[in-house]
């Protein structure tokens, strides 16, 4: 089966004038379709940089990034925007909903930026409704973010990440702002999505959250330090 | 950008603006006043030239008016040494002009004096006008009852008078005036006709004062000379004031408007040769257009400056608010970029928002602009009553100002709207580009 994403010797350097910060020093990873990966590491380990590259928000200094069989590492801003819109779904720590939009409008937001800007059809609207129901917000379609709890807002974000049927869902500390009970709810939801076949890459620094994933990758100093598979002992070798 | 998408973007813009109603409203003010000034400026200009056109028709576009004017005190000539001051147009001038200039097809000599008219116990301060039968035609006047002065009246030195509309009404409120007599000084004149009501005309460039035809009493000019004479004494403090004037005005008509300017030059040259002093003025109604242009220019400069300053300040205000908005909504921009918005999408979004803002200001300004004629009345009333202290000596410009009425030109509305949209584009481009150029990662991290 074709992997959802692959990176080869991915490097990212930041030129700060007198010094060059090497945030990523060569990361090679493969994310098979249907995988659920947790990326861990201390702050400054390069995990956020890796997620930004995987999310097409930035370009690597060196190395290749193949997403769904397409090399996106040297794409320009317009092409990357389209990749983000069509192949990726984002879930953020701070939910990042648009405050003046309702639940339904937030879920539909990525549809505004589809290639060629096709008008939003009834089929699209039905899909948004269905997703809202799926994340348990079918009765709050017209609420605005400030009228919702943190857990509910994050569920809207999950629905929004699904609306474009992405190759990979990228979650950046999805439970970082939530209490443990709500965190578990969200993680159950992500696990359920993974079981449906969704590929999920999640950054977290909480080990018990990382346990929900099938694979845990630990970053240190810009490289992959360790990789484990849930329920197995650390065998120190890449998982295949 | 498809129309549906455009509508969606506009809707989006409206939504964001309504989120901050007070802020958006205040930001629009500059544009509102700017657009209002543009419309008012054009409306006043339009009104001024419309008024000038009307006046030209009233005075006759093919007419040239030569007026006697009193020379400036102290510039005495030999003729004036000691005795009664003599000045103005002479009967010989009249003959010279009418006999030597071929383009002139009609000529009307006029002698006028303010006089009290009386019928029984009713009196009225009117203007006694000595004229000929041509007066009707030259001044586009109509007789509503009886007849006007005829050539026979001139020859017979008949004591007949034709009353202007208001005079007839005041002296003869109930009875039929024709056949009755009116006393002026010691002479009785019998009324032979009444003229129709007429709107007063404006003055031209200081030499032709505005005329109110409704207080006139017309008598044959020969009768005027015989009964009153050229030399007129008026009592004044500490003695008598006297002056000697043969004619107050000669109105000359030419066949074609094309001939007006050249003929007026010839008239000026001819008269200058026989008048040592500058005791006459040649007035061409066509020059009213110039005067209207002057008035319009004054308003254009004043309102144009207001418009330009308001629009620039308004534009800067909009730019400022949009820059603040971009900072405030940095995270929103980051979210949109992460979800697939291209730089162009962000530019379009913020530019549309700016244009919606300035365009709304434009619409409000246009609505205010439509009320210009009303606002103008108010300003005029205020100016006349508190600044110019109305009734006193008014300059011709201020008289024109007091009589014109601005008309909103329809074509100025789309123009004004276009300007407001243009301001939105010019001052919105920079904030919109700044928003689009934000780094998505930085923007997402923004608190």
Q: Is A146 on the interface with B (CB under 8 A)?
A: no
CB-based contact, B329 to chain A, within 8 Å = no
Q: What is the per-residue pLDDT for B209? A: 61
B8–A57 C-beta distance less than 8 A: no
Greater confidence, B394 or A104? A104
Which residue in A58, A82, A100 is closest to B19 by CB distance? A100
B439 to chain A: nearest residue by CA? A57
pLDDT at A173: 93
Mean pLDDT across A155-182: 94
- Average pLDDT over chain B reads 85
> Average pLDDT over chain A, rounded to whole?
91
In chain B, which residues have pLDDT < 70? 1, 73-82, 200-211, 387-403
The yes-or-no verdict on residue A231 having pLDDT over 60 is no
Contact A96 B342 (CB under 8 A): no
Q: What is the pTM of this model?
A: 0.72
Q: Would you list the domain boundaries of chain B? A: 3-56+290-445, 70-278
* Residue B310: CA count within 13 A, CB half-sphere: 24
Predicted complex ipTM exceeds 0.90: yes
What are the Cα distances from residue B100, in Å, to A24, B280, B445? 105, 19, 94
Instruction: Tell me the mean pLDDT in the region A62-73.
Output: 92
Q: How far apart are CA A156 and CA A97, in angstroms?
A: 8
State the pLDDT at residue B1: 59
pLDDT at A233: 45
What six digits make up the tokens of B346?
């962000």
One DSSP character per residue, chain A reads ---SEEEEEEEEEEE-SS-EEEEEEEEEEEE-TT-EEEEEE-TTSSHHHHHHHHTTSS--SEEEEEETTEE-TT--HHHHHHHHHHHEEEE-TT----TTS-HHHHHHGGGGG-TT-PPPPHHHHHHHHHHHHHTT-TT-TT--GGGS-HHHHHHHHHHHHHTT--SEEEEESTTTTS-HHHHHHHHHHHHHHHHTT-EEEEE-S-HHHHTTSSEEEEEETTEEEEEEETTS---SS---
Residue A233 distance to chain B (closest CA, Å): 36
A58 to chain B, any CB pair closer than 8 A? The answer is yes
The nearest CA of chain B is from the CA of A57 a distance in Å of 7
Of B15, B339, B343, the CB nearest to A110: B339
Given CB atoms, is A77 within the 8 Å cutoff of chain B? yes
A81 touches chain B (CB under 8 A): yes
The pLDDT value given to residue B376: 81
- pLDDT band (50, 70, 90) for residue A129: very high
Residue B148: the pLDDT is 93
Give the closest-approach CA distance of B345 to chain A in angstroms.
8
A-B C-beta contacts closer than 8 Å? 68
């Amino acid at each position: 089966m074709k992997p959802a994403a692959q990176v080869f010797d991915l490097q990212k350097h930041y030129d700060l004038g007198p010094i060059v910060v090497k945030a990523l020093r060569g990361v090679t990873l493969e994310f098979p379709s249907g995988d659920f990966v947790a990326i861990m590491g201390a702050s400054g380990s390069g995990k956020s940089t890796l997620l930004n590259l995987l999310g097409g928000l930035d370009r690597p200094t060196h190395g290749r990034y193949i997403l769904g069989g397409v090399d996106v590492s040297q794409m320009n801003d317009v092409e990357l925007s389209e990749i983000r819109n069509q192949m990726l779904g984002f879930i953020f720590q701070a939910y990042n909903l648009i405050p003046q939009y309702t639940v339904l409008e937030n879920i539909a937001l990525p549809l505004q930026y589809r290639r060629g800007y096709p008008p939003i059809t009834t089929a699209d609207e039905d899909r948004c409704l269905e997703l809202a129901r799926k994340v348990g917000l079918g009765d709050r379609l017209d609420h605005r973010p400030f009228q919702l709890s943190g857990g509910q807002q994050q569920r809207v974000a999950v629905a929004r990440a699904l609306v474009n049927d992405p190759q990979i869902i990228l979650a950046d500390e999805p439970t970082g702002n939530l209490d443990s009970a709500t965190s578990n709810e969200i993680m159950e939801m992500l696990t359920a999505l993974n079981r449906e076949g969704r590929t999920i890459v999640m950054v977290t620094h909480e080990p018990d959250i990382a346990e929900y994933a099938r694979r845990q990758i630990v970053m240190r100093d810009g490289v992959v330090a360790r990789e484990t598979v849930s329920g197995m002992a650390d065998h120190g070798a890449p998982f295949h | 950008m498809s129309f549906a998408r455009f509508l969606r973007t506009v809707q989006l813009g409206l939504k964001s603006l309504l989120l901050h109603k007070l802020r958006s409203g205040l930001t629009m003010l500059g544009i509102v006043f700017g657009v209002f000034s543009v419309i008012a400026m054009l409306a006043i200009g339009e009104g001024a030239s419309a008024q000038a056109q009307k006046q030209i028709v009233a005075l006759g576009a093919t007419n040239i008016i030569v007026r006697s004017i009193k020379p400036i005190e102290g510039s005495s000539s030999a003729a004036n040494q000691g005795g009664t001051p003599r000045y103005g147009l002479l009967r010989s001038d009249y003959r010279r002009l009418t006999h030597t200039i071929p383009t002139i097809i009609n000529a009307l000599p006029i002698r006028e004096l303010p006089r009290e008219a009386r019928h029984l116990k009713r009196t009225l301060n009117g203007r006694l006008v000595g004229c000929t039968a041509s007066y009707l035609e030259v001044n586009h006047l109509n007789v509503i009852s009886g007849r006007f002065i005829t050539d026979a009246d001139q020859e017979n030195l008949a004591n007949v008078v034709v009353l202007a509309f208001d005079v007839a009404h005041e002296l003869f409120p109930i009875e039929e005036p024709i056949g009755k007599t009116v006393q002026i000084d010691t002479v009785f004149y019998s009324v032979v006709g009444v003229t129709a009501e007429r709107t007063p005309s404006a003055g031209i460039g200081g030499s032709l004062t505005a005329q109110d035809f409704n207080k006139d009493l017309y008598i044959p000019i020969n009768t005027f000379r015989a009964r009153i004479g050229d030399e007129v004494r008026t009592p004044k403090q500490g003695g008598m004031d006297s002056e000697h004037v043969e004619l107050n005005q000669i109105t000359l008509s030419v066949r074609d408007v094309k001939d007006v300017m050249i003929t007026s030059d010839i008239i000026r040259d001819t008269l200058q040769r026989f008048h040592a002093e500058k005791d006459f003025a040649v007035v061409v109604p066509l020059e009213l257009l110039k005067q209207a242009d002057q008035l319009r220019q004054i308003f254009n400069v004043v309102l144009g400056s207001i418009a330009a300053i308001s629009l620039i300040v308004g534009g800067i205000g909009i730019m400022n608010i949009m820059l603040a908005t971009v900072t405030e909504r940095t995270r929103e921009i980051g979210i949109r970029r992460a979800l697939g918005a291209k730089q162009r999408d962000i530019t379009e979004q913020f530019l549309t928002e700016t244009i919606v803002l300035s365009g709304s200001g434009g619409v409000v300004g246009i609505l205010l602009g439509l009320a210009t004629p009303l606002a103008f009345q108010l300003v005029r009333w205020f100016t006349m009553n508190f600044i110019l202290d109305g009734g006193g000596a008014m300059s011709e410009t201020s008289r024109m100002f007091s009589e014109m009425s601005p008309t909103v030109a329809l074509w100025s509305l789309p123009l004004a709207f276009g300007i407001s949209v243009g301001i939105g584009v010019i001052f919105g481009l920079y904030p919109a580009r700044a928003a689009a150029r934000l780094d998505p990662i930085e923007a997402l991290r923004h608190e």
